[in-house]
């Protein structure tokens, strides 16, 4: 899902760059108001975990592979705006140091995996969690479903950018990206639920529902 340079047009790269910069600026302001000193180390630990987890690929159909994204996990543990900062930091390091995703496409990658993925997953999780009366079942069900949708919607956003850039026709890009990431989303959901189950067993105080 990491777009390299040359796959999206200049207008798409510029537009998503503006979206990314704006979202990060808002995230910095909101996070400064919402996050306490005790949560700052957790941001670093979570960013490091997501970065490491994204380096591990698992096989998918047709010889392709997928990897954990982590947007849902970050949003559930620290709230969506803080998750935007965490995911953006991970994507910037991957781009600049490991050349995973193009520099000119960085805005698009942040838009897809640090904005679309975060907010889709968070509000699906929140809705299901509240619907189940803030129970353990609701938390894990919401996390798993939210994580699955986070991957699928991020992939569809990526496909849409390729389509409007003229790189690929919609009848190829949308089904291809959406279809394969429906499978990858299952892995995302399982890993997210597993990590949250571990957190519930060891540090349940970290799983307070965020309000923004």
The 10s digit of each residue's pLDDT in 56-113 is 776 765 555 678 899 999 999 999 999 999 999 999 999 998 888 889 999 999 999 9
Q: Distance between alpha carbon 138 and the CA centroid of its chain, in Å? A: 20
Kindly report the CATH number assigned to the domain that includes residue 124. Answer: 1.10.1760.20
Q: What is the phi/psi pair of residue 66, to 5°?
A: -135, 170
Q: What CA–CA distances, in Å, run from 182 to 5, 84, 144, 187, 198? A: 25, 22, 13, 9, 25
The pTM assigned to this predicted structure is 0.92
Residue 171 inside a domain? The answer is yes
Res 203: pLDDT: 81
Residue 4 inside a domain? The answer is no
Would you call 79 helix, strand, or coil by DSSP?
Answer: coil
Kindly state the DSSP code that residue 206 receives in the 8-state scheme: G
Contact 1, 154 (CB under 8 A): yes
How many domains, the chain? 1
When pLDDT is cut at 50, 70 and 90, the band that residue 150 belongs to is: very high
Residue 29 inside a domain? The answer is yes
Res 62: pLDDT: 53
Question: Can you give the residue range of the structural domain that contains 189?
Answer: 10-201
């Amino acid at each position: 899902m990491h777009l390299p340079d040359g796959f999206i047009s200049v207008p798409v790269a510029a537009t998503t760059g503006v979206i990314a910069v704006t979202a990060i600026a808002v995230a910095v302001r909101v996070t400064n108001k919402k996050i306490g000193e005790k949560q700052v180390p957790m941001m670093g630990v979570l960013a490091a975990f997501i970065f490491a987890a994204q380096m591990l690929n698992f096989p998918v159909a047709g010889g392709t592979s997928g990897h954990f994204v982590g947007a849902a996990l970050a949003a559930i543990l620290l709230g969506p705006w803080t998750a935007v900062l965490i995911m953006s930091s991970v994507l910037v390091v991957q781009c600049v140091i490991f050349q995973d995703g193009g520099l000119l496409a960085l805005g698009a990658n942040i838009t897809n995996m640090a904005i679309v993925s975060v907010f889709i997953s968070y509000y699906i999780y929140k809705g299901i969690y509240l619907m189940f009366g803030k129970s353990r079942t609701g938390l894990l069900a919401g996390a798993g479903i939210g994580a699955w949708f986070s991957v699928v919607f991020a992939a569809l956003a990526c496909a849409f950018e390729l389509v409007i850039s003229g790189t690929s026709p919609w009848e190829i890009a949308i089904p291809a990206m959406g279809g394969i990431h429906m499978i990858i989303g299952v892995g995302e959901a399982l890993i997210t639920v597993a990590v949250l189950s571990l957190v519930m067993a060891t540090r349940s105080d970290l799983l307070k529902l965020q309000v923004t």
